[in-house]
Structure 1
Amino acid sequence: MPYKVVGVRFKKAGKIYFFEPDGFELSEGDNVIVETARGIEFGQVVSESMEVAEEDIVQPLKKVIRKAEKEDMDQIEINQEKEVRAFQVAEEKIAKHNLPMKLVNVEQTFDGNKIIFYFTADGRIDFRELVKDLAGVFRTRIELRQIGVRDEAKMIGGLGCCGRELCCCSWLSDFVSVSIRMAKEQNLSLNPTKISGICGRLMCCLKYENELYEQERENFPEAGSRVISPDGEGKVTGRNIFKRTVSVELKESKIIKSYPINEVTFKNKE
């Protein structure tokens, strides 16, 4: 049985969660108050009412409590001010306990029942005393959550080598698996500084064109393959999938020439 739901996002470029509209007429861009596993939260509708198959729903399906009102927007501003203070206090406490950790972000739940401190560290950190200190200051539930370098980049943001805002903090809701094989397949330099993002990991955009390369590879001879070109037999030394050309080292003259893929005939591989 399909469910009628709306898609709600809590952070820019964050994951989309489904909620039952519960009779509210909601449009894309509407701010709403919903119930989540963390408590009452403020979110924005990013996909209007639609029907979704039961297997695509994470049970139990929560309902939209109400459309956000002016008081809710005021509460968001108050929470943001508290987050700034919480960040300053947490940095002071971290320095006091001499903990080898870097505070990245602070987030307070909409209802104020919990403050989450996101940090990075090289290993495991014993932060029990830090939690006690923070709980004593803020008188609410405290959670310290260790994150990776990719999550840090998503939270802080920045510009990529392309000059645009990082994909992870502007629109990419989920991190994709990226491997060095993708860079090799796309004939890119394997210099880490060329294919790594500001997080120090392989750039997410290596994934975007990889499927095209994998599909087109079947239509191209591999490097080292013998082919017959308009100028005679030769060996493939390179290929350009976008131009749909192959570079061939001619057997007789040892000259390397580029030919459209439809002008060469495959032979057996060397």
Structure 2
Amino acid sequence: MEEKPLYEPVEDVGIKNFDIEFRGVSFSYDTESVLHNINFRVPEKSVMAFVGPSGGGKTTITSLIARFWDVDFGEVRIGGKNIQEIKLDTLLSYISMVFQEVILFNDTVMENIRLGRKDATDEEVVAATKAARCHEFINQLPEGYNTVIGEKGARLSGGEKQRISIARAILKDAPIIILDEATAFVDPENENIIQEAINRLTRGKTVLVIAHRLSTITHVDQIIVIENGKIVEHGTHEDLIRKEGLYKRMWKAHNTALGWRVS
């Protein structure tokens, strides 16, 4: 309660494109330094993935884009504008986020999805659920779209909650999409369905992905490897495989894990 609110500009600035750039960004939680001189650029309508050990700063980077916190040093820019020059409501209208832990409320399916765009019609909500591959299971619920799903979506499975979250993001139709390990806790049966929904969501958008499974990011435009709050490698999957660095070691470990069997 004693925390000072983030700086809010008096007037908005216009954004003509949605590239994202970090310029010399450093950040700490209280006295714990988390990011150190981070520099990168995500061109508009391209896909960048972040990988690296847990606790390295990947989620913090995406949180700074949404201005959940402000940087200590440097700038985060969208469309060439420092995000601190953009009103918070305007900034958040540009961004859709899909987390591994989905935030749902004790309300109907329809209203949980309509949070993406509060003025959306029922027909527009249904169109979003069809794109997110969840229209069929919603119709099988006791009261269909009017089914109350419980606190945190307790009456839905993990895969169902994830598809509801993707439908909400599709309905919002923001130009920037942030995916924070969106399939990390999904069972294999639902993973392909959710991946199809994510592909539909991210088409033609500026996309940042925090990757849990390296096999899902081999075709993205850029990969940044984060370790201990620093960028240690940067390139395409092919570029990084040719290097004898952290990414190649992670890729070998990933492929070894796929081959594990109980004898």
TM-score range for the pair, normalised by the shorter chain length: under 0.3
Instruction: Say which one has the larger Rg.
Output: 1
Report the TM-score when normalising by structure 1: 0.22
Report the TM-score when normalising by structure 2: 0.23
> Greater helix percent: which structure?
2
